[in-house]
Structure 1
Amino acid sequence: MSRAGKILAIGGLFIASIIGTAIVTNGSKSTTNSTIAGESQVQTLRFSMSSNTQHPIYDGASKFKELVEKNTNLTVDIYPSAQLGDDRAAIEMLQLGTLDVSIPSTAPLANFYPEYNVFDLPFMIPNEAVADKVLRSPFASDMLEMLQSRRLIGLDFWENGFRHLTNSKRTVTNVEDVKGLKVRTMESPLHLDAWKALGATPTPMAFNELFTALQQGTVDGQENPYPNIALNNLYEVQKQMTDTGHVYTPLVLIFSEATWNKLSASDQAAIRKAATEAGDYQREVNRRVNNDSLDTIKANMQVTELTPEARNEFRQATESVVDKYRDVIGSDIIDSFTNEIAKAEKETATQ
């Protein structure tokens, strides 16, 4: 073989070796295709969140920061109150690698992953005990793993909680009372469809615009968990709350894949453990604040509890939404979700 031929042969073997290594590495399910053997290539993690410092989500983020900084050489900087952008903007920044960590609700994620609409289907999860089991199940693990297809790493589900309707117009005791109300919703087509099915006029809007919109009468009402209502003083511009509990909203702790691949294997493991421990802590705080927030709401608003018959009426009115989103979400995912809920209900009923 000529000298040139030998060079080409050696070069070809070298390239094949690189390609082969890349194929083996990228085929790994562990999402560590660029894992650093020694120290991480980043020192500071920027953590963006939409909620303010009074919300239990901030307590969870602070616990996450404490655990990460205790067990790694990394620093975590938290940016509350949407300082770096709302949930949707944060997700886009994570995909671009210009942000490191965020904790959005599932509804904004559904703009990027239609399958995530499953968590916002109305009247699915009945209580917190069932939610805990479902969000730490194999189904939940599969949903987190799905995020890597769009350059995100899903670590854990935290809790926003059950959403309830407030308004400044009238007492809502049944579906008929909802008709004609202008209700602010998250920027989610599914949420819009659910409120249309109930006869309301839904208006998508960023949360940081909500108080002013309620104050000025741009919308009549909104729907959120108790802490969001109380800690943001929405009772100052709303007179009525109905304990609808129509959707249980999880939060998703997500990392930029670009950042994740700059972390050492040991730091990745420490972060995964911190995510779970901080998630458990955040749930505890959220439920304590949930009770305190309901007390604040009752002191400032008229609170109506739906009868079982009225709740069933609400559920029946929104069944068409579940059917509509089967093709969007995937029947297999909806069926897996409902099966996991049924399993959790059975397990919690015997405890």
Structure 2
Amino acid sequence: MKRSIRAVVVGLTVACACVGAAGMAFAQDIKERNIKFAFANTADSAHGIGAKRFAEMVASKSGGKLNVKLYGSGTLGGEAVVASAMQGGTIEMSMMGPGLLTGMDKEFGVFDTPFLFDSFKEVDAALDGPVGKKLLDKLPAKGLVGLSYWDHGFRILTNSKRPIAKLEDIQGLKIRVQQIPVFIESFNAMGANAVPMPFPELYSALEQKAVDGQENPFISVEVTKFYEVQKYASTTRHAYSPLLVLMSKKFWDQLSADERKVLTDAANEVKSYERQVSRELDAKALDTLKSRGMVITEVSAQERARMRDKLKPVIDKHRQTTGELGKEMTAEVERIRSGK
């Protein structure tokens, strides 16, 4: 028995030595590096929670050599400032929605297409598939590298006037929208008076009744306390925004293949976790809004289809600006939806 135990111990010692040697060989391709990871949302948001898990995973995978330092709440600047800094190589990482990227390449405007996705299943399959990868492959030419798609969520509609259960209920409402042409045209086409406005001005505009409503994910409505000035919320889910995890190409070009693999693998391994956290927080926010007195109206699949049909001319016009990748994304979603 003693001989058997000794053999096991010797075997484990040899195995550990081999693993250690392999680890040291791997570590030789990883240098001590500090990585600034800047993002707009708070540390306790799904974005911040995902970033923290990413930093921990990178440290683990790199033997502590790659140190990801988090800068949330826009402490290093807004998205435009951070994107410019990444292109210049002074900030290494960020995550942001596709809005700013659309200004760099119109094909990223595909995510602004109204009613493109019906479910998270469609979202995940499309973004993790070949069309999602093609979009990421366009970023190096803009001085950025796309590591993964995390979750930002479906947008819903709130207002202070009445419940919205069908297309006709939108008629005549003054709705604040993002300063994006397709959003302005979409809400006007559904009978609303679309009012483009910067987000920081929105709470005051709602409070003063300059606009009747707005559209954002449930979690944004909760965090910004729009429930104080909005009575009704409707699950229109009229648009979905992913969160792109980005890296400076100037920094990326300095990395070894092993360092790149650590960062890419970590971003993709955290992806499912961040998506789950984001969606759970959004669902929790819905419950919180109910407890705050908001009236939540579920918009049926049939009504969402009616809204999509109403917007067909707007959607067709928008697809002309998103090029071939826009058409490919639409075809991919339709394939996923049909189960083929």
TM-score range, shorter chain: 0.7 to 0.9
Gaps of 5+ in 1: 1-36
- Aligned twin of 1:139: 131
**Is 1:240 equivalent to 2:206 in the alignment?**
no
- Aligned twin of 1:302: 295
- Aligned twin of 2:311: 318
1:213-252 Cα deviation digits (max 9, x unpaired): 3334343221111222223322122111011011121111
Percent identity over the alignment is 34
Query: Quick one: distance in 1 between partners of 2:174 and 2:73?
Result: 25
Equivalent positions of 1:31-70 (< 5 A) are 38-40=29-31, 43-70=33-60
- Aligned twin of 2:273: 281
Q: 280-289 or 227-236: which moved more?
A: 227-236
Q: Give, in angstroms, the shift of residue 39 of structure 1.
A: 4.7
Q: Give, in angstroms, the shift of residue 98 of structure 1.
A: 2.8
TM-score w.r.t. the length of structure 1 is 0.82
Query: Quick one: distance in 1 between partners of 2:71 and 2:242?
Result: 20
Q: Give, in angstroms, the shift of residue 302 of structure 1.
A: 0.8
Gaps of 5+ in 2: 1-27
Q: Give, in angstroms, the shift of residue 153 of structure 1.
A: 0.3
- Aligned twin of 2:322: 329
| Alignment match of 1:109 (pick from 96, 101, 104) | 101
Query: Quick one: distance in 2 between partners of 1:189 and 1:91?
Result: 22
Contact 1:117 1:190 in 2 (8 A): no
Query: Quick one: distance in 2 between partners of 1:195 and 1:89?
Result: 30
Equivalent positions of 1:1-351 (< 5 A) are 38-40=29-31, 43-72=33-62, 73-299=65-291, 300-330=293-323, 332-347=324-339
Query: Quick one: distance in 2 between partners of 1:70 and 1:309?
Result: 48
For 1:57, the aligned partner's letter is: H
Q: Give, in angstroms, the shift of residue 296 of structure 1.
A: 1.0
For 2:126, the aligned partner's letter is: V
Q: Which aligned segments of 4 or more residues in structure 1 are displaced greater than 4 angstroms?
A: 37-40
1:17-45 Cα deviation digits (max 9, x unpaired): xxxxxxxxxxxxxxxxxxxx9554x7222
Query: Quick one: distance in 2 between partners of 1:311 and 1:342?
Result: 16
1:164-184 Cα deviation digits (max 9, x unpaired): 001122222333332333323
Contact 2:113 2:239 in 1 (8 A): yes
User: Cα–Cα, structure 1 residues 169 and 86, in superposed 2: closer, same or farther, change >3 Å?
Assistant: farther
Contact 2:176 2:214 in 1 (8 A): yes
Query: Quick one: distance in 2 between partners of 1:52 and 1:283?
Result: 16
RMSD: 2.1
For 2:60, the aligned partner's letter is: K
Q: Give, in angstroms, the shift of residue 206 of structure 1.
A: 4.1
